[in-house]
Chain A
Amino acid sequence: MKGLLVLTALFVAVFGKKTFEGDQVLRITPKGEAQISLLKELSEQEHLGLDFWREPVHESLPVDVHVPFHSLQGVRAFLGYNQIQYNVMIMDVQDLLDDEEREMVKYRSFPRSTDDFVYTNYHDLNSINSFMDMLVAENSNLVSKIVIGQSYENRPLNVLKFSTGANRPGIWIDTGIHSREWVTQASGIWFAKKIVTDYGRDPVLTDILNNYDIFLEIVTNPDGFAYTHSRDRMWRKTRKPNSGSSCVGVDPNRNWDAGFGGAGSSSSPCTETYRGPSAHSEPEVKAIVEFVKSHGKIKAFVSIHSYSQMLLYPYGYTSTPAKDKTELHELARKAITALQSLYNTRYTYGSIITTIYQASGGTIDWTYNQGIKYSYTFELRDTGRYGFILPANQIVPTAEETWLALMAIMEHTKNNPY
């Protein structure tokens, strides 16, 4: 509603070439007929230039008024003197219009190619799906889209496959398994574009792709992602209802069959780390499980989260060190050294259970136990200042530095076949 009114104001602004700097919109809550009368009198003072978005009608209804800057002091003094309650709904109308204008300009032209796509912004599900289709269309000899399953709400689980030949071993990367971690899906988009740009140009990436396929699932939890756009920016889990409970959703990173049901996950559906009724009960998880098992030759598996700035390896469910701990630790060190070289972003690294917390039923514990030695989890920027709501201007720097770490892991995988 406010948006519509603002757009109208913008329309007027564009055609009337007015500026609204310093103007405010006040929401007045009149009490008693006397105050209503006063407000009606106020509305008749033409020299004030007041624009009532909601007229004074009845004492139970708020009155919204756009007050030009030159009239502000007088109007507020009037309200204060008459003890009429109000609060400032819009602090500066011009600021708001400028912001809206910026947003509209960004979206005015739907990207016609992945070169047009705005990587420095967060996108919704439709936009990301269009991106994937465009990328495939532009690079059909390198990229294809596989649908590995359906989410609970029947959204396709899309995976981009980057391949230069048949029967290759594979490297898996997923982003967005926890829907509120928006910088991860945004980075996934950037990674996809980076791969097609660098193939044939960067010798290391070219060599990797000439020997391995890369599988990239950008929106691993599409139901949750849609929900973060429409209803709750802080939503983490899937959106499957839980029988016998009014609470919705399962933590997809506690739903894997590795230490499932142990400490470090919750048995209550009303919590963020609810493990689900059984291992792989979530279609989003089951789809990946089946894909990995039927592929049979995945050699590296990276699951990307935010925030904390960490690179983690198994295990989360037990303090028993992973058999390959020494190698994994050393590779992690190399990867984050590469990451840090770009913008000096500091990461910590180690096993999940020692570095971040005990977590059972986690993705990379399962993949590691399946024999995928190079199993890693990232926690991207930042360390808490913005947390899940990382400003969009950090998307590309985050993706760029993370890519260096991913390259280190992929290169090591290629150089150490098993």
Chain B
Amino acid sequence: MKTFCSVWLLLSLVELSPAPPVSQEPPLACTGAPGHAPQSETAEDMASTGDLEPTHYPARRAATVALHYLNTHHGSPFRVFGLQQVHKASAEDVAAGGRKYKLDFSVTDWASGSEGPALRCSADVLFPQAERHSGPEVQLHCEALQQLNRTAQEEHAFYQRYISPESAISARDIPDSYGNVSEEMQPFWRLARVAASFIMLRESSENTEFNMAQVASVTQQGSREEQLMLEFVVLLHDFPSQEIIQWKLLASWSPDRGVRVLQTEWQPRCPHATKPPN
């Protein structure tokens, strides 16, 4: 809606399931724009090894990766986890190249409001050598996951409401500029956040720290194999580079199968290239 740059999209069809695939590099469609995983110009080697300060960014970035992993496995329209605090962290170089972080941290479920209990988690996060072009590997354990409030009823009701063939949900800008999300759109926002976590996990490195800034759009596709099919366009925010990165993705969900991401497509966004209107 705002750009006049000449753009050329490369469709990268990636089947995402627990085994992370190799993603294709999208083209540098915007002159001078960063690649889809922008590297900030960190010259100083912050090779933190040994015990890490939990409130500093190396530990926090690794914990964020573990959080994305947690959401891909346990997120739903009624459950999204946020990082509350990192308690302990350490890092070491590994024999095959790359760096492994050990983390002790707490998360909260955003869906249960600000009074939700904190869950304690521990994780190993391995960032492989940069040359290998693959995403981080995570091993994660959280206490009391099973003891979280059951959301089966809400999931079922939500599923029933939107699985019918006539359902054709369509919305933009969630939240809107003022931070509003309607009651009805909340589960869709959470689904987008979970689906976006697959991308954020895959694209993470020690030089990134991803979050989902906004859902630009959600468009329901025809249901397939009893799965809700949703096409999302999400805006991701990367902290170190401060870039907003746009991804289109196709996700499926059902109470039984959970969230799956079937296709992802990086969308060049050239807001920087907009000339002021004369």
Q: Which residue of B lies closest to A349 (CB)?
A: B55
Q: Which residue of A lies closest to B213 (CB)?
A: A387
Q: A248, A267, A350: which contacts B56 (Cβ < 8 A)?
A: A350
- Residues of B near A153 (CB, < 8 A) are 276
Q: Is A346 a contact partner of B175 (Cβ separation < 8 A)?
A: no
Q: Is A232 a contact partner of B2 (Cβ separation < 8 A)?
A: yes
Q: Is A386 a contact partner of B175 (Cβ separation < 8 A)?
A: yes
Q: Is B276 a contact partner of A248 (Cβ separation < 8 A)?
A: yes
A231 to B273, CA, bound (A): 13
Interface assignment of B225: CB less than 8 Å from any CB of chain A? no
Q: Is A247 a contact partner of B272 (Cβ separation < 8 A)?
A: yes
Of B39-47, B93-101, B124-132, B150-158, which stretch is located at the interface?
Answer: B39-47
A267 to B34, CA, bound (A): 12
Interface assignment of B219: CB less than 8 Å from any CB of chain A? yes
A390 to B168, CA, bound (A): 28
Q: Is A88 a contact partner of B271 (Cβ separation < 8 A)?
A: no
Q: Is A88 a contact partner of B178 (Cβ separation < 8 A)?
A: no
Q: Is A271 a contact partner of B2 (Cβ separation < 8 A)?
A: no
Interface assignment of A357: CB less than 8 Å from any CB of chain B? yes
> How far apart are B115's CB and chain A's nearest CB, in angstroms?
11
Q: Given A383-B82, A389-B177, A357 and B30 touching (CB < 8 A)?
A: no
Interface assignment of A235: CB less than 8 Å from any CB of chain B? yes
Max count, chain B CB within 10 A of own CB: residue among A88, A235, A269: A88
Interface assignment of A416: CB less than 8 Å from any CB of chain B? no
Max count, chain A CB within 10 A of own CB: residue among B43, B171, B273, B276: B276
A266 to B33, CA, bound (A): 11
Q: Given A232-B2, A384-B82, A272 and B178 touching (CB < 8 A)?
A: no
> How far apart are B63's CB and chain A's nearest CB, in angstroms?
12
Interface assignment of A388: CB less than 8 Å from any CB of chain B? yes
Q: Given A264-B41, A273-B241, A391-B178, A354 and B53 touching (CB < 8 A)?
A: yes
> How far apart are A259's CB and chain B's nearest CB, in angstroms?
11
Interface assignment of B18: CB less than 8 Å from any CB of chain A? no
Q: Kindly identify, within residues 340 to 364 of chain A, every residue whose CB is under 8 Å from any CB belonging to chain B.
A: 346, 348-350, 354-358
Q: Is B32 a contact partner of A268 (Cβ separation < 8 A)?
A: yes
Q: Is B32 a contact partner of A269 (Cβ separation < 8 A)?
A: yes
Q: Kindly identify, within residues 382 to 415 of chain A, every residue whose CB is under 8 Å from any CB belonging to chain B.
A: 383-392, 394
Q: Which residue of B lies closest to A24 (CB)?
A: B168
Q: B42, B85, B176, B241: which contacts A346 (Cβ < 8 A)?
A: B85
Q: Kindly identify, within residues 67 to 84 of chain A, every residue whose CB is under 8 Å from any CB belonging to chain B.
A: 73, 76-77, 79-80
Q: Is A263 a contact partner of B276 (Cβ separation < 8 A)?
A: no
Q: B5, B34, B182, B273: which contacts A95 (Cβ < 8 A)?
A: B182
A49 to B49, CA, bound (A): 70
Q: Given A234-B271, A266-B41, A391-B179, A272 and B241 touching (CB < 8 A)?
A: yes
Q: Is A87 a contact partner of B57 (Cβ separation < 8 A)?
A: no
Interface assignment of B184: CB less than 8 Å from any CB of chain A? yes
Q: Is A263 a contact partner of B44 (Cβ separation < 8 A)?
A: yes
Q: Kindly identify, within residues 264 to 278 of chain B, every residue whose CB is under 8 Å from any CB belonging to chain A.
A: 270-276
Q: Which residue of B lies closest to A344 (CB)?
A: B114
Q: Is A248 a contact partner of B237 (Cβ separation < 8 A)?
A: no
Name A's B-contacting residues (CB within 8 A).
73, 76-77, 79-80, 86-89, 91-92, 95, 99, 121-122, 153, 182, 228-229, 231-236, 239, 241, 245-249, 251, 262-273, 308, 319, 346, 348-350, 354-358, 383-392, 394
